[in-house]
Structure 1
Amino acid sequence: MGIGMLLAAVAVLEQAERLPPPPFTATTCIDNKFEFLHDSNLERVNFIAVGSSVTLHNVDLSVIAQRFPHLRPINAAPCHLYVDQTKFLVEFLLEGMPDVQTVLTVFSPRDFQNCNVADTEFFDRTLAGWYVFDKHYPWLVYLRAIGTAPFVSAVLAANRATPEWDEFGTMPMRARQQVELPAYLDPRCFAALRELEHGLAARNVRLLVVTFPPMPGWGQERDHRFIDEWNRGLRATLREPTTQLIDGARVGLREDDFADPLHLLWPSPTRFTSYIAEQLAVADS
């Protein structure tokens, strides 16, 4: 099939509303976020939230925008990322958003489960930059993917209803679900966090690390020891004086605030983010 026919096929799928988001990763929730960033005005963005779904669903950046009028925040977090992949995504975003002064990430132990170097670079930075920052139509991305099994599956399952982002890119969680926490921590993830912190400090960008609070009533004694081990690892890893580590457990959330051990039900992220904003204000005072 020639390029012209492939392009025509893409156009037909788009008109029929069967065209998936540009398949940079073939993971819908990640590709949807690239599409959101492409559609957003990223000029003068100076505050970004980045991470896994723990960041995607759990921050209400309207709180940050209202509390700090000089900040222009956006939630660039997709889903399913581990710490090394978050580092890779942050580095990509900073290349195209030179005004960023603060990076916020909300972590749970799940983010530290598996930092396999073979999976770190989970998208093509050149193509993504061409799409996200230069705002080009992603013909080349579709041409590379069309006809592949993941793309065909995505077309067959396509639902082009707009994802429920708020204006800042957060996706509210509105239903409870079952999620299991990992049983181990990967030391490579702590090493990746240290590298992320060091790289941000070299750019004069502040890192805010927020720990997601344990769900009340969840877990056994072993699980609480596991959480304690994770918290100790964070404190031992983060060394830069400009880094701020915020203990999310101090928010005092109730069990009915949680969708699962990794996510809050909306509007509980508003309260959670209000606490983050308070800690940020104290640090800046």
Structure 2
Amino acid sequence: MNEQTKIRVQQNKPRAGLFRRYLFSVSATMLILLSAYVGSLAVLARAGVLPPPPLVNELCADRKLQWLRNNMPARPDLLVVGSSIAWRDVDSAEFVAHDPRARPVNGGMCHAEVNQSGFVTKFLLDHMPSVETVVLVLVPQDFTDCTKTPARLFSPAVATRYVFGHDWSYGFYLNRFAPVALVHNVREIHRLQDGVDRFDSMKMTRYGDGPLRITGNRGLMYGTVGGRDPACVAALHTLAISVAAKGRRLFVAMAPLNPDWVKQYDPSGARRANLLAAIHNALAGTGANFWNGTAAFKGTPNDFTDAIHINWPAAKRYSALMAKALDPDPS
């Protein structure tokens, strides 16, 4: 080895040492931060304010996935799906009261358009082979925008590992690292648990229903329904075909509408009539059943918390009517 080579080797040794120390420092820092983050999650969990992992990145829907992970009933045979209407307006205990053999589970998720409800239904049916009947609960507001709203609410593979695989829960917070959203959701959960917003409770029944047990209302909240999106009607047809192909029965139910909303935004009934005609066309030839629960319920404004959500006593009455309509053999 000549003199110049020796000099270069001696110069490289300090550089290699510095690089190794740099890698060690970075790795140690990341490990400390990771440990601190997981530790923070554990503290929030013990305090009862840890939000669910952001699989949907919408607190209400993520809370339903968390509930399904922790409370999945054994061999459910009746699956309720839809938007917050299916979650808030259905008391699944009424299905059991009508038929003690029934094993219902409520898979309704907030804010879902018809195409998103179809996506959730397919996901749940893929993992619930015991389900025989799917109850889809709808209102006109669910048909407004399926063209621009992506049907895929979450990654099926990730949700499968979380809900049905019961993988390490903290790993899902690491995969979707979002500390700002986490802090926001912690505040939301704390607010909801404190009862500050009595119209937005996250409490669920043993079947996954989300009852609203309140007095008074917050006004109609929902204005006029614009044009019906043909993509939503097409999504309903696709869902009906998919459920039938899996050998299950689809029962489509319209939910109650506040009479004050009807009086203000559809006094002639033309919009509802057009929607019902579109639904009938979408379900024709699929084997699905349809029930006009809006007409059957005949509620008063006092039954409602807004234009489309009903209080729990009203939900029990509506669900009892649905259970009778759902029964193919009333005897």
TM-score by length of 2: 0.79
Larger Rg: 1 or 2? 2
Equivalences, count: 285
1:173 and 2:212 aligned: yes
Amino acid at match of 1:245: F
Query: Could you tell me whether the CA contact under 8 Å between 2:244 and 2:286 is conserved in 1?
Result: no
Structure 1 residue 94: Cα displacement: 0.8
Moved more, 57-66 or 1-10: 1-10
Deviations 1:226-263 (A, max 9, x none): 11111111111112453110011122222221222211
Structure 1 residue 26: Cα displacement: 1.9
Q: 1:147 to 1:216 in 2, by over 3 A?
A: closer
- Aligned to 1:82, which of 93, 113, 116? 113
Q: 1:16 to 1:63 in 2, by over 3 A?
A: closer
Moved over 6 A (4+): none
1:237 and 2:268 aligned: no
The alignment-based identity, stated in percent, is: 29
Q: 1:100 to 1:256 in 2, by over 3 A?
A: same
Amino acid at match of 1:165: M
Kindly report which structure 2 residues correspond to 1:59-138, keeping only aligned pairs within 5 A, or say none: 59-116=90-147, 119-138=150-169
What is the match of residue 15 of structure 1? 46
1:33 and 2:42 aligned: no
1:186 and 2:229 aligned: yes
Q: 1:97 to 1:148 in 2, by over 3 A?
A: same
1:213 and 2:252 aligned: no
What is the match of residue 267 of structure 1? 313
Query: Could you tell me whether the CA contact under 8 Å between 1:259 and 1:265 is conserved in 2?
Result: yes
Moved more, 126-135 or 169-178: 169-178
Q: 1:68 to 1:241 in 2, by over 3 A?
A: farther
Structure 1 residue 129: Cα displacement: 1.1
TM-score by length of 1: 0.91
Q: Which has the higher helix share?
A: 2
C-alpha distance in 1 between matches for 2:185 and 2:142: 26
C-alpha distance in 1 between matches for 2:176 and 2:309: 32
Query: Could you tell me whether the CA contact under 8 Å between 1:246 and 1:279 is conserved in 2?
Result: yes
- Aligned to 1:163, which of 202, 206, 211? 202
What is the match of residue 203 of structure 1? 246
Report SS of the residue matched to 1:36.
Answer: helix
Q: 1:209 to 1:256 in 2, by over 3 A?
A: same
Query: Could you tell me whether the CA contact under 8 Å between 1:174 and 1:259 is conserved in 2?
Result: no
Report SS of the residue matched to 2:211.
Answer: coil
Report SS of the residue matched to 2:79.
Answer: strand
C-alpha distance in 2 between matches for 1:36 and 1:222: 36
C-alpha distance in 2 between matches for 1:267 and 1:228: 28
Q: Gapped runs of 5+ residues in structure 1?
A: none
1:153 and 2:192 aligned: no
